[in-house]
Amino acid sequence: MKAPNMRWDAIFFDLDGTLVQTSPEIADAVNDTLRHFGWPAAAQAQVDLWIGHGTRELLIQALAQVTGQSAEAVRQGPVLQQALPVFDGHYQARCGTRSQLYPHVRETLGALRLAGCKLAVVTNKEGRYTDTVLKAHQLHSCFDLVVSGDTFPQKKPTPVGINHGLALWQVAPARALFVGDSSIDAATARNAGIAVWLLPYGYNMGEPVQACQPDRVIADISELLT
């Protein structure tokens, strides 16, 4: 793709549901974990609704469903501590096995870099999983900055990751854009004072992204080049 004349000096991207379709292998890892403890599997559609707050929170929702406990009870109880290392092993093994890049991701990122735009991933996925997914799809070299859910004490929708990138690159908020797929991403961008474009095909807890009132809804990320 041809390098565009860029309106943006920095673009921040969500990962799951924006750059990479990861839900099939996340569901596999969840169900590997549930089967380990003799619990029934979760449906793919249900797992999709849990994506967005990081894999720890996703696992809490899954455990709450199969044990009948509240999410808060799971968060404070022993079941989570038993399940976390089991899930960790399964998800590390599953990363890259059934995920795939969304259309035009690699060539768009390449064109944006060629145009001199700073690029970052800002995700709530824990760093060890973010790293594995980026490596599985050979995306590490596409980004100047990667902020995961455990990079800072706070994660999205707090704007700490975006603010860090803006300060690092000395980019004004008016010259920055967040591209995501959910209300969490929209809130993160608003909290940072930057524009937000959303994609309609990701994981927004079952709600249409138009309800988040982004600055723009785009069909795929190649629209960043037009």
From residue 193, alpha-carbon distances to 135, 147, 165, 189, 205 in Å are: 31, 18, 13, 6, 24
Helix (H) or strand (E) holding 195: strand 195-198
Distance CA(143)–CA(89), nearest Å, equals 26
Phi-psi category of 96—alpha, beta or left, where left has phi over 0 and alpha has psi -120 to 50? left
Buried b (16+ CB within 10 A) or exposed e, 112-121: bbeeebbbbb
Which residue numbers are catalytic?
Answer: 14
Backbone angles phi, psi at 155, to 5 degrees: -125, 180
First to last CA, the chain: 11
